[in-house]
Structure 1
Amino acid sequence: MSPLLIFSLICSVTLLVSGVAKARDYVPTATAIFNLKIDKWLPIRVKTAAKILPWAEIALGVALLVLPGIFQVLAAVITLVLFVFYWVVIARALMSGNDASCNCFGGASTAPISRWTLARNTALVLAAVVTVPGALAFGVPALALFFALDARDWFWLLGAALAVATLWFIHRADASPATAAQTSSAVGSSRVAASATSTPSTANAGSTADVEDSNGATGAVLDDAQELDDYVRLPIPFGALKTRSGSVHNLRELASSQARVLLWVSPTCGPCIDVIEQIPTWHEKLPMLGVHPVVASEEFIDQMNLPAHITVFVDEGYATQASFGNGTPMAIALGVDGLMAGGPVFGSGSVKEFMRDLMFEFDIEENKE
Structure 2
Amino acid sequence: MSGSLVLVDLVLAAVLLLSGAAKLGDRRTTEDMFVSLRVPLVPRAVGARLLPWGELLLGLLLLVAPPVLLVVTAALVLALFLAYLALIARATRFDPPVTCACFGKLGGHRVGATTVVRNALLVALAGVALAGALDGHWLPGGVTDLDRGGVAWLFTALATAALAWLIGRSDTPPGAADEELDYLRLEIPYGVLRDAAGVTQSLRELAATRARILFFLSPGCGACERTAQRLDEWSAAFAGRVAVHAVYTAPLEALPDPPHDPALSFHEPEQNVTRTFGMLTTPSAVVLGTDGLLAGGPVIGESAVADMVGELLEELAGTASEPSPESAQESSAPVS
Shorter-chain TM range is: 0.7 to 0.9
Cα distance in 2 for residues equivalent to 1:59 and 1:322: 45
Cα distance in 2 for residues equivalent to 1:344 and 1:118: 27
1:178 and 2:135 matched = no
Candidates 242, 247, 250, aligned match of 1:289: 242
Candidates 285, 297, 307, aligned match of 1:342: 297
Q: What displacement does 1:280 show?
A: 3.8
- What is aligned with 2:29? 28
Q: What displacement does 1:127 show?
A: 1.8
**Structure 1 length as normaliser, TM-score?**
0.67
Q: How does 1:154-165 map to 2 (within 5 A)?
A: 154-165=151-162
AA paired with 1:4?
L
- What is aligned with 1:54? 52
- What is aligned with 1:235? 189
* 1:220-247 CA distance string (max 9 Å, x none): xxxxxx348xxxx8835434232xxx36
Show structure 1 runs of 5+ residues with no match. 192-225
Q: What displacement does 1:178 show?
A: 1.6
Show structure 2 runs of 5+ residues with no match. 318-336
162-171 or 248-257: which moved more? 248-257
AA paired with 1:238?
V
AA paired with 1:235?
P
Helix, strand or coil: the match of 1:58?
A: helix
**Structure 2 length as normaliser, TM-score?**
0.72
1:354 and 2:305 matched = yes
AA paired with 2:10?
L
- What is aligned with 1:151? 148
* 1:282-309 CA distance string (max 9 Å, x none): 22444542223457558625xx3x5x7x
- What is aligned with 1:207? none
Cα distance in 2 for residues equivalent to 1:266 and 1:100: 8
Q: What displacement does 1:276 show?
A: 4.0
Q: What displacement does 1:340 show?
A: 10
Helix, strand or coil: the match of 1:300?
A: coil
Q: What displacement does 1:154 show?
A: 1.4
CA contact (8 A) 1:261 1:331 kept: no
Q: How does 1:1-369 map to 2 (within 5 A)?
A: 1=1, 2-35=3-36, 38-39=37-38, 41-94=39-92, 99-113=97-111, 115-140=113-138, 142-173=139-170, 177-178=173-174, 226-227=184-185, 235-242=189-196, 246=197, 248-250=199-201, 252=203, 253-263=205-215, 270-272=222-224, 274-287=226-239, 288-293=241-246, 296-297=252-253, 300-301=257-258, 304=259, 311-313=263-265, 315=267, 324=274, 330-336=283-289, 337=292, 342-343=297-298, 345=300, 350-360=301-311, 363=314
Q: What displacement does 1:148 show?
A: 2.8
AA paired with 1:13?
A
* 1:181-227 CA distance string (max 9 Å, x none): x999x89xx87xxxxxxxxxxxxxxxxxxxxxxxxxxxxxxxxxx34
AA paired with 2:194?
A
* 1:66-92 CA distance string (max 9 Å, x none): 222333122212222322333344444
**RMSD between superposed Cα atoms in Å:** 3.9
Q: What displacement does 1:364 show?
A: 5.0
Cα distance in 1 for residues equivalent to 2:188 and 2:57: 45
* 1:155-196 CA distance string (max 9 Å, x none): 1111111101111122125x86427xx999x89xx87xxxxx
Cα distance in 2 for residues equivalent to 1:354 and 1:60: 36
Q: What displacement does 1:61 show?
A: 1.2
Identity of aligned residues (%): 26
AA paired with 1:8?
D
Residues 1:77 and 1:324: Cα distance change in structure 2 (over 3 Å)? farther
Q: What displacement does 1:29 show?
A: 2.1
Residues 1:322 and 1:247: Cα distance change in structure 2 (over 3 Å)? closer
Helix, strand or coil: the match of 1:51?
A: helix
Helix, strand or coil: the match of 2:169?
A: helix
Higher relative contact order (CA 8 A, sep 6+): 1
14-23 or 61-70: which moved more? 61-70
CA contact (8 A) 1:34 1:327 kept: no
Cα distance in 1 for residues equivalent to 2:5 and 2:102: 25
CA contact (8 A) 2:223 2:283 kept: no
Helix, strand or coil: the match of 2:145?
A: coil
CA contact (8 A) 2:207 2:288 kept: yes
Residues 1:255 and 1:131: Cα distance change in structure 2 (over 3 Å)? farther
- Report how many aligned residue pairs link the two structures: 304
AA paired with 1:71?
L
